[in-house]
């Protein structure tokens, strides 16, 4: 520091010395002046000296502005000579318009002197002189903003901002100017920049909030006001804006019907507005806002209670209604008080009069006590309206308000017409006028008015509601009425409209639609005292199958009726009570339902619906006698009912009789019924169902005759469905269903109704359960599967289920991977992988669908089997099965679920077995073996156990299980065959004929395809003989099998192969020609070429000496292998083919000629280098 | 507002595509579209040309759901056997595998901060929350049983949970069930708050408005799209127009529109101010399982995926 001052002093001394040398140097004077000026704080004398030097400098060089500036400072601040200061500054600015210090100082002085116009002139002059005089632009901009010259201000401010881009005030001012010019987006941007530069800019925040509100983005506005309040919590405009923004948001919510949300916003708004009103107190508009918020609250506050708790407690319900009403009322009263305060502050504001009128009207409607001094209160709204009109007679809105609030029709009409005279396109006024006319029952006039209102403003709810009421009266178009009313509700969620909508929905069958559900829920919130809203809510819940809530609503409706003390109370109570009884019954609460029915009976208010509910509830409780007596009394009254009621009652009686008294009783009853009662479609359907169960066909005549009365396709389909099921029962014997006769019938029907998916699915289902060979393919072809099944009907099998089951049923999964297996199923060649995908899609569609998962698991298991149980698949399967077992079947004891569990356990066991995990495998299989299932199925659990023990080497247990299998027996052919194979493999045999005789017994039961089964059994025996090296008997058995089932390709393959082997061992062209025959037959039957088969043919042909046939077969063989898997021997054989070609120069095939013989051999060696034969041939070839 | 088709890739996967979501951009790459399919793969596509970036394999059954971490570096995919794979997007390195019993994983969503992965728990009638640092199960939000049912009663499986959504502030979580109810949870306290009623068929997709933590959009098999005040327990809007199940819904980043995909093979754009459908795209030939708005980036983009194996990209403006 010291050295610095030392330096300075040295500098000054130097300056002074030079001044002595050059006394006329202006800049020297200026430098000295500057030095003295800056030292000015320390010694008073120095500023005067400085001024002298400045004067000197100015005199010497009058073109330099700097000395003038400092002189201006001197006069302005020290010697307080404003005039001189002004002159000096003016000079400085004139010399250098960019000099912001002088400019600012000059303007400040002018401003202090109140010379605004001079100030502006100075700034303008400077700005015109130099575009870089940013201070002047800024000053000018501010001035113009002050003078409300917005568009000029914008220009100048924009220019100034180029000089001071980080000056928040400039941005703020620019924002204001834009705002006033109506350029809101630009304004918001400017304010935003200001806030960015300085986050304490309350004004900018408030104003951008205001703009947001104006533009309708309330949420943003609210946020900005909140921010402003964080900076300055007492800022009244921000408080006002926040409350207003919240009010606007709340109104949006109310228009959506989100009353609770709206109320919570209004509570906050009210808090803010109240604080603001009580802190400032004398601002009318804040009081008015507060009142507006309260009024909205009174209109929005919803009744939300835990209805379950009020269900049984009428007092609590009543109390909650009263408290709800009190909340609304006190809000309305508060609103009126606040309006009065506002009015008191600004009595010239006409609209507050109107507001008070509206609020008073609301209070009157909310408060029952007002009815006491009726006249005075009724007239209050009217009077206040007139007050508003006295102040502003030409305001049409007030006229409309008066038109709505007065209760004298003539005055109403006059007021509304007056309003229309002032503004002819006032849709509201037209609407209200229409309402007035329809109240006065001038229908035509009313409609005209409404039409006009709607054409002016289609978004007005009232005309739509009226239109709906119109349609409703005509009773011709309930749908149209519903549509119109739903329009009205969407525009304005008013409880009246919503209740009307629900009623219309009841008439037009839209009761379960979402819109109605939402509407009636909102209606309950806003008119909880009105019994009908609860009743309708109950009906809506009922239509959505939520019977418990429905019952609660009905109970509450009953409470509401008893509180409301209406005129036609009894009929209402009856209606609601019937509803209550019905929904209680449907909810499974029979005891309460009976209670309700008995109450109704005491009142003598029984109708057919109550009878039904009564009877069903009694039946559910097991009081069959009472139920029957009720049914009897219902039957007695049937003849006096109207048609639909009669149909319903009759079919109901039949059904209940069937459940209580059984099949025979109901059939005798039907026979006794007068014919005209049972001719309707509904009754007929029930009759068909009963007939289907009846083995004696007692009703057949009636049912088939009634078929002619039906003309609806769906109904006909369903009856045929039942008849087909009936065929199963009627033509069946010994507990077996006659599946084939059912299918035969359905096929005929399908011819008539080729489009009926119901019938198609049943055909598919039945053919699958028929267990015929190839039935699975028939099933898939029957069921249409154009799109994934979207219905959620339970009970009937869907097309997807049938497809899935068919895929499982086909032994060949159609795996596309040739490494694991070859496709041999002739019917369904390509569906396998697609089927797995399909089932996944089905499962993805409905992941809670256990059928889908079950089928997916089984299909996957098939795939795993075909691919020889790869580890990856086994892991997935294990996981899937594990879950399926754990949550699927709990609590369900039906046989089909037990069966599924059994099946899954066997799958799990098999997988464990394949993974080498014998212990788990055994435990799964043992679990399966103890399920409650017919022996027929359990057989397989023990068969599997037998296998596992055998593989494990535990022969003792294996034998035990084998014996257990023999004891249990099964109807399934495959079972016996497997057991036979096991028996032979592990020498378990006890008695040579047991299995044979069992198998024959089994054959007798399923009569249909025994040829095929015998053939297969012969195949099995043949294989066993083959294993025992008894080739001759094996050949015999195979031959027999082939003759039994001439359509089964694999039998011929086996026969052919065995013949070849025999021929190899014993020689003989006879055997060879047999082999050739069989193998050729095999080729004819199987459409695809199976590896090795052609090779066998080739060998046989070759041995017989037919060279070209050999040649052709080898080539066939070549093509039947997938390219990656061809064995070495095949290459070698090809070499032979090529060599033969060389010998006989006939046709040159493409394939053979591509390689020379020795190359084929080389390839064979490459495949299998260990075979000496190939090497030898190669050696020979090389030579 | 309107949608304009930009690009459509036929046979984007070998089979039905079931899930789609956008991975936000990171410092090193633009946003990617993530799709999951029945063909057991997850694929990543570069916008706007829909160039295939990579194919991830490793699932053994169809991929039912994919989820993207808000930072864009991590994603998760789950298959029908409830095997969840969490992987690093850029390297395809597996970060974690989450196992649950099959049928107990359905839709997944990361929370807005990316600290938690919420998994709709299917048959377990709950939503499982996994910590994304440790990949451990931190909470299970169970839907309470309806009154009067016994704990042994397995009808609890009726509440199969299909879908899950986070509120933009991460405080609330909503899940949709098979019976049409929507359950709302307080995440911090791990508490069930209430049900939202109105749907009567499965709710397969739901999403909160990005601006308003109260506003929830739901899509259901009953062909309706609902708008709920999720705090006030009120149904505040109903948008109908689809002819079949509505399978998916997403809300535009500006919060002014939603897009839905349906079994009727269409994608619809709905104007929330008008509460009406303003546009219907019918370029798919099978049901549309997923729609997703791109979260960031300049131009608005919507992607849709369908059973017809194709991915479509639209410009939203």
Which tens digit of pLDDT belongs to each residue from A169-226?
889 999 999 999 999 999 999 999 998 888 888 899 999 999 999 998 898 999 999 9
CA A199 distance to own-chain centroid: 43
Structure tokens at A977: 């065959």
In this prediction, does ipTM exceed 0.90?
Answer: no
Dig out the tokens for A89 from the structure: 């500054």
pLDDT digits (tens, 9 = 90+) for B123-178: 788 899 999 999 999 999 988 876 654 444 444 446 788 899 999 999 999 999 88
A264 touches chain B (CB under 8 A): yes
B58 contact A CB<8A: no
For chain B, the C-alpha Rg in angstroms (whole number) is: 18
Our separate counts of H helices and E strands in chain A read: 62, 0
Q: Is B201 on the interface with A (CB under 8 A)?
A: yes
Say if CB A1046 and CB A1020 are below 8 A apart: no
Chain A residues 771-790 with CB within 8 Å of chain B:
788, 790
CB of A814 closer than 8 Å to CB of A829 = yes
A311-318, Cβ contacts within 8 angstroms, sequence gap of 24 or more: A311/A552, A311/A555, A311/A556, A312/A555, A314/A559, A314/A562, A314/A563, A317/A556, A317/A559, A317/A560, A317/A563, A318/A559, A318/A563
Q: Please, which pLDDT band fits residue B288 given cuts at 50, 70 and 90?
A: very high
For residue B277, name the pLDDT band (cuts at 50, 70, 90).
very high
The contacts found for A1081-1086 with CB under 8 angstroms, 24 or more apart, are A1081/A1042, A1081/A1049, A1081/A1052, A1082/A1049, A1082/A1050, A1082/A1052, A1082/A1053, A1082/A1056, A1085/A826, A1085/A1047, A1085/A1048, A1085/A1049, A1085/A1052, A1086/A824, A1086/A826, A1086/A1049
| Residues, chain A | 1183
Beta strands in A197-305 (DSSP E): none
Give B226's contacts in chain A (Cβ within 8 Å): 514
Cβ separation of B153 and A848 shorter than 8 Å?
Answer: no
Closest CA to A1088 of A889, A814, A840: A814
Structural tokens at position B76 = 């998760």
Quick check: B81 and A880 CB within 8 A? yes
**Chain B residues inside the 8 Å CB shell of A882:** 101
CB contact under 8 A, B234 and A259: yes
At residue B156, the pLDDT reads: 44
Domains present along chain B, CATH in parentheses: 3-144+158-316 (2.130.10.10)
Find the helix packing angle between A396-405 and A427-439, rounded to 10°. 20
DSSP for residue A640? G
Most B CBs within 10 Å, among A883, A886, A890, A891, to test the B interface = A883
Task: Quickly list DSSP for A686-747.
Answer: HHHHHHHH-TT-SSHHHHHHHGGG---HHHHHHHHHHHHHHHHHHH-BTTB--HHHHHHHHH
CA distance A405 to A360: 10
Burial class (CB in 10 A: 0-12, 13-18, 19+), A182: exposed
> Which candidate, A292, A380, A282, places its Cα nearest to that of A335?
A292
pLDDT number for residue A381: 83
Cross-chain Cβ contact A847/B160 below 8 Å: yes
Chain B residues with beta carbon closer than 8 angstroms to that of A514: 198-199, 222, 224, 226, 235, 238, 240
CB contact under 8 A, B16 and A841: yes
Q: What is the pLDDT of residue B153?
A: 46
The C-alpha angle with vertex B61 and arms to B55 and B62, in degrees rounded to 5, equals 65
Which residues does residue B118 pair with via DSSP β-bridges, in sequence order?
B109, B129
Gap from B153 CA to chain A (nearest CA, Å):
7
C-alpha–C-alpha distance, residues B182 and B176, integer Å: 4
B62 touches chain A (CB under 8 A): yes
> Using the beta-carbon criterion (under 8 Å), do A219 and B212 form an inter-chain contact?
yes
pLDDT at position A896, please?
Answer: 78
Give the up-direction half-sphere exposure of residue B35: CA atoms within 13 A in the CB hemisphere: 38
List CB contacts of A1076: < 8 A, sequence separation 6 or more.
Answer: A1056, A1097, A1100, A1101, A1104
Average pLDDT along chain B? 88
The Cα–Cα gap between A58 and A54 comes to 6
pLDDT tens-digit readout, A881-905: 888 887 655 556 677 788 888 888 8
* Stretches in chain A below the pLDDT threshold 50: 1, 813, 829-830, 1145-1148
Q: Pick from B83, B232, B243, B285 the residue to mutate for testing the A interface (most A CBs within 10 Å).
A: B232
Cβ of A848 within 8 Å of Cβ of B106? The answer is no
Q: Is the separation of the CB atoms in B162 and A847 below 8 Å? A: yes
In angstroms, the CA A428 to CA A397 distance is 9
The count of other CB atoms within 10 Å of the CB of residue A547 is: 19
Query: Which chain A residues are Cβ-neighbours of B234 within 8 angstroms?
Result: 257-261, 521-522, 525
Helices then strands, each counted (H, E), chain B: 0, 28
Q: Which residue matches tokens 């099921």?
A: A725
Cβ–Cβ gap B236/A518 under 8 Å: yes
Instruction: State the average pLDDT over residues B215-226.
Output: 92
Q: How far is B7 from chain A (nearest CA, A)?
A: 26
Residue A1142 pLDDT:
60
Residue in A216, A251, A257, A261 to test binding to B, most B beta-carbons within 10 Å: A261
Residues in B closer than 8 angstroms to A840, CB to CB, are 38, 61-62, 80
Distance of alpha carbon A515 from alpha carbon A505, whole angstroms: 10
Cβ distance B233 to A512 less than 8 Å, yes or no, reads no
The chain A residue lying nearest B234, using CA atoms, is A258
pLDDT of residue B150: 47
What letters, b where the CB count within 10 A reaches 16 and e where it falls short, cover A493-522? bbbbbbbbbbbbbbebebbbbbbbbbbbbb
Question: CA A36 to CA A39: how far, in whole Å?
Answer: 5
Residue in A261, A846, A872 closest to B234 by CB? A261
The whole-angstrom separation of Cα B261 and Cα B248 is 5
Q: State the count of interchain CB pairs (< 8 A) between A and B.
A: 125
A215 touches chain B (CB under 8 A): no
The answer to whether the CB of B311 falls within 8 A of the CB of B12 is: yes
Cβ contact, residue pair B229, A253, below 8 Å: yes
Asked if A515's CB is within 8 angstroms of B160's CB, the reply is no
* Distance (Å, whole) CA B166 – CA A285: 41
- Residues A138, A160 contacting (CB under 8 angstroms): yes
The phi-psi region of residue A991 (left if phi > 0; otherwise alpha if psi is between -120 and 50; otherwise beta) is beta
- The nearest CA of chain B is from the CA of A943 a distance in Å of 30
CB contact B222 to A (< 8 Å): yes
Taking an 8 Å cut-off on Cβ atoms, the answer to whether B103 and A847 are in contact is yes
Q: How many CA atoms lie within 13 Å of A1104's alpha carbon, on the beta-carbon side?
A: 21
Q: Which residues of A touch B238 (CB under 8 A)?
A: 514-515, 518
- Coil, strand or helix at B70: coil
Residues 121-180 of B with CB under 8 A from A: 122-123, 152-154, 157-158, 160, 162, 178
Is residue A1112 classed as helix, strand or coil in its secondary structure? helix
- CB < 8 Å from A in window 63-122 of B: 64, 80-82, 101-104, 106, 122
The pLDDT confidence band at residue B248, using thresholds 50, 70 and 90, is: very high
Amino acid A821: pLDDT: 58
In B, minimum Cα distance to A520 occurs at B235
> A1127 phi and psi, to 5 degrees?
-80, 165
> Burial of A85 by CB count in 10 Å (0-12 exposed, 13-18 middle, 19+ buried)?
buried
Q: How far apart are CA B258 and CA B250, in angstroms?
A: 6
A480, burial (CB in 10 Å: exposed 0-12, middle 13-18, buried 19+): middle
Contact check, Cβ <8 Å, A261/B236: yes
Strands (E), A367-523: none
Contacts of A853 in chain B (CB under 8 A): 103
For B80, the closest of A512, A792, A844 (CB atoms) is A844
Mutate to test the interface with A, among B62, B63, B102 (most CBs of A within 10 A): B102
């Amino acid at each position: 520091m010291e050295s610095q001052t030392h330096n300075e002093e040295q500098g000054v001394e130097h300056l002074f010395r030079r001044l002595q040398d050059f006394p006329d140097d202006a800049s020297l004077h200026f430098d000295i002046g500057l030095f003295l000026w800056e030292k000015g704080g320390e010694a008073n004398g120095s500023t005067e000296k400085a001024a002298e030097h400045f004067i000197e400098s100015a005199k010497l060089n009058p073109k330099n502005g700097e000395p003038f500036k400092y002189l201006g400072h001197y006069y302005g601040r020290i010697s307080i000579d404003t005039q001189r200061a002004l002159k000096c500054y003016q000079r400085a600015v004139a010399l250098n318009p960019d000099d912001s210090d002088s400019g600012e100082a000059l303007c400040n002085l002018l401003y202090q002197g109140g010379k605004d116009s001079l100030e502006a002139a100075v700034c303008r002059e400077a700005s015109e002189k130099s575009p870089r005089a940013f201070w002047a632009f800024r000053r000018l901009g501010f001035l113009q903003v002050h003078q409300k010259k917005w568009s000029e201000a914008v220009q100048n401010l924009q220019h100034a901002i180029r000089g001071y881009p980080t000056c928040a005030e400039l941005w703020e001012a620019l924002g204001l100017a834009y705002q006033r010019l109506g350029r809101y987006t630009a304004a918001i941007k400017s304010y935003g920049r200001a806030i960015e530069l300085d986050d304490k800019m309350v004004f900018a925040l408030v104003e951008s909030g205001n703009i947001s509100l104006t533009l309708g983005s309330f949420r943003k506005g609210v946020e900005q006001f909140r921010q402003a309040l964080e900076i300055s919590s007492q800022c009244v405009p921000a408080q006002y804006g926040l409350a207003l923004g919240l009010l606007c948001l709340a109104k949006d919510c109310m228009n959506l019907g989100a009353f609770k949300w709206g109320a919570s916003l209004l509570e906050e708004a009210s808090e803010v507005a109240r604080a603001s009103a009580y802190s400032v107190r004398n601002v009318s508009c804040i009081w008015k806002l507060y009142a507006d918020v309260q009024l909205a609250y009174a209109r929005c506050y919803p009744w939300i209670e835990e209805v379950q708790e009020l269900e049984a407690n009428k007092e609590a319900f009543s109390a909650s209604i009263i408290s709800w009403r009190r909340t609304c009322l006190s809000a309305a009263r508060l609103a009126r008080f606040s309006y009065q305060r506002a009015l008191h502050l600004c009595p010239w504001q006409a609209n507050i009069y109107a507001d008070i009128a509206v609020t008073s009207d609301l209070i009157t409607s909310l408060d029952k006590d007002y009815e006491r001094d009726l006249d005075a209160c009724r007239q209050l709204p009217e009077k206040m309206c007139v007050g508003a009109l006295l102040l502003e007679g030409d305001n049409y809105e007030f006229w409309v308000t008066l038109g709505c609030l007065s209760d004298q029709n003539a005055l109403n009409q006059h007021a509304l017409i007056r309003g229309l005279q002032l503004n002819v396109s006032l849709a509201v006024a037209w609407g209200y006028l229409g309402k007035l006319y329809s109240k006065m029952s001038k229908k035509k006039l009313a409609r005209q008015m409404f039409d006009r209102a709607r054409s002016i403003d289609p978004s007005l709810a009232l005309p739509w509601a009226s239109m709906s009421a119109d349609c409703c009266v005509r009773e011709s178009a309930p749908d149209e009425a519903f549509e119109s009313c739903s329009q009205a509700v969407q525009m304005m969620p008013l409880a009246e409209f919503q209740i009307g909508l629900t009623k219309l929905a009841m008439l037009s069958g839209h009761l379960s639609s979402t819109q109605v559900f939402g509407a009636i829920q909102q209606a309950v919130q806003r008119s909880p005292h009105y019994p009908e809203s609860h009743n309708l809510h109950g009906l809506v819940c009922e239509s959505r199958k939520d019977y418990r809530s429905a019952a609660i609503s009905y109970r509450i409706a009953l409470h509401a009726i008893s509180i409301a003390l209406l005129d036609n109370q009894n009929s209402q109570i009856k209606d609601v009570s019937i509803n209550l009884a019905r929904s209680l019954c449907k909810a499974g609460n029979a005891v309460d339902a009976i209670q309700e029915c008995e109450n109704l009976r005491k009142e003598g208010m029984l109708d057919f619906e109550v009878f039904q509910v009564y009877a069903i509830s009694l039946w559910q409780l097991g009081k069959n006698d009472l139920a029957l007596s009720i049914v009897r009394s219902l039957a007695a009254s049937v003849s006096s009912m109207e048609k639909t009621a009669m149909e319903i009652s009759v079919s109901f009686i039949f059904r209940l009789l069937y459940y209580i008294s059984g099949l025979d009783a109901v059939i005798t009853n039907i026979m006794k019924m007068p014919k005209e009662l049972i001719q309707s479609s509904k009754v007929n359907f029930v009759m068909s169902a009963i007939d289907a169960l009846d083995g004696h066909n007692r009703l057949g005549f009636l049912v088939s005759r009634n078929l002619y009365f039906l003309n609806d396709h769906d109904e006909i389909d369903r009856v045929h469905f039942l008849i087909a099921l009936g065929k199963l029962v009627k033509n069946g014997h010994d507990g077996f269903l006659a599946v084939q006769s059912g299918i035969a019938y359905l096929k005929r029907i399908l011819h008539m109704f080729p489009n009926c998916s119901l019938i198609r699915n049943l055909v598919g289902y039945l053919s699958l359960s028929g267990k015929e060979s190839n039935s699975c393919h028939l099933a898939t072809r029957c069921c249409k599967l154009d799109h994934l099944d979207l219905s959620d009907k339970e009970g009937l099998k869907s097309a997807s289920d049938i497809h899935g089951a068919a895929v499982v049923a086909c032994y060949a999964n159609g795996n596309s991977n040739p490494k694991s297996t070859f496709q041999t199923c002739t019917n369904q060649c390509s569906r396998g992988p697609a089927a797995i995908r399909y089932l996944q899609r089905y499962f993805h569609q409905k992941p809670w669908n256990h059928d889908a998962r079950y089928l997916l698991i089984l299909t996957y298991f098939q795939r795993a089997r075909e691919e020889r149980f790869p580890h990856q698949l086994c892991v997935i399967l294990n996981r899937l099965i594990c879950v399926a077992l754990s949550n699927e079947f709990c609590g369900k004891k039906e046989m089909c679920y037990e069966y599924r569990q059994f099946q899954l356990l066997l799958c799990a066991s098999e997988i464990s077995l394949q993974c080498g995990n014998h212990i788990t495998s055994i435990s799964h299989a043992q679990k399966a073996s103890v399920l409650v299932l017919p022996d027929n199925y359990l057989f397989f659990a023990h068969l599997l156990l037998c296998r596992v023990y055998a593989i494990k080497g535990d022969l003792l247990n294996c034998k035990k299980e084998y014996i257990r299998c023999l004891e249990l027996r099964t109807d399934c052919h495959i079972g016996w065959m497997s057991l036979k194979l096991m028996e032979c493999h592990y020498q378990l045999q006890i008695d040579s004929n047991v299995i044979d005789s069992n198998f024959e017994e089994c054959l007798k039961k399923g009569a249909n395809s025994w040829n095929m089964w015998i053939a297969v059994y012969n195949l099995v025996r043949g294989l066993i003989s083959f294993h025992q090296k008894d080739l001759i008997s094996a050949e015999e058995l195979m031959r027999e099998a082939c003759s039994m089932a001439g359509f089964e390709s694999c039998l011929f393959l086996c026969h052919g192969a065995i013949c070849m082997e025999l021929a190899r061992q014993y020689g003989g062209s006879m055997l060879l020609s047999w082999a050739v025959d069989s193998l050729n037959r095999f080729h004819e039957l199987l459409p695809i070429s199976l590896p090795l088969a052609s090779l066998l043919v080739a060998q046989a042909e070759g041995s017989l000496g037919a060279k070209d046939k050999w040649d052709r077969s080898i080539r066939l063989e070549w093509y039947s292998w997938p390219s990656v898997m061809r064995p070495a021997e095949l290459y070698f054989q090809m070499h032979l083919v090529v060599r033969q070609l060389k010998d006989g120069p006939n046709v040159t095939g493409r394939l053979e000629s591509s390689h020379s013989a020795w190359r084929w051999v080389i390839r064979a060696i490459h495949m299998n280098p260990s075979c000496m034969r190939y090497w030898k041939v190669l050696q020979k070839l090389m030579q | 507002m309107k949608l304009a088709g930009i690009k459509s890739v036929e046979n984007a996967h070998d089979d039905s595509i079931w899930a789609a979501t956008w991975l936000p951009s990171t410092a090193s790459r633009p946003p990617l579209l993530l799709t999951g399919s029945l063909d057991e793969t997850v694929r990543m596509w570069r916008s706007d040309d829909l160039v295939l970036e990579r194919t991830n394999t490793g699932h053994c059954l169809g991929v039912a759901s994919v989820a993207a971490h808000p930072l864009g570096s991590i994603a998760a995919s789950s298959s029908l056997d409830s095997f969840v794979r969490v992987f690093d997007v850029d390297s395809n390195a597996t970060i974690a595998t989450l196992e649950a019993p099959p049928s107990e994983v359905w839709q997944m969503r990361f929370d807005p901060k990316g600290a938690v992965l919420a998994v709709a728990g299917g048959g377990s009638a709950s939503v499982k929350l996994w910590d994304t640092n440790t990949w451990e199960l931190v909470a299970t939000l169970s839907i309470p049983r309806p009154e009067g049912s016994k704990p042994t009663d397995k009808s609890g499986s009726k509440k199969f949970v299909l879908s899950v959504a986070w509120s933009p502030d991460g405080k609330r979580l909503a899940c949709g069930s098979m019976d049409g109810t929507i359950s709302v949870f307080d995440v911090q306290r791990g508490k069930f708050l209430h049900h939202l009623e109105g749907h009567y068929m499965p709710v397969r997709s739901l999403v909160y408005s990005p601006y308003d933590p109260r506003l929830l959009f739901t899509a259901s098999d009953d062909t309706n799209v609902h708008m709920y005040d999720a705090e006030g327990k009120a149904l505040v809007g109903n948008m109908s127009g689809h002819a079949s199940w509505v399978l998916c819904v997403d809300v535009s980043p500006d919060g002014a529109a939603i897009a839905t995909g349906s079994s009727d093979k269409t994608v619809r754009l709905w104007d929330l101010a008008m509460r009406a459908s303003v546009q219907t795209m019918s370029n798919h030939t099978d049901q549309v399982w997923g729609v997703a708005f791109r979260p960031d980036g300049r131009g608005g983009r919507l992607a849709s995926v369908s059973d017809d194996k194709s991915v479509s990209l639209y410009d939203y403006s």
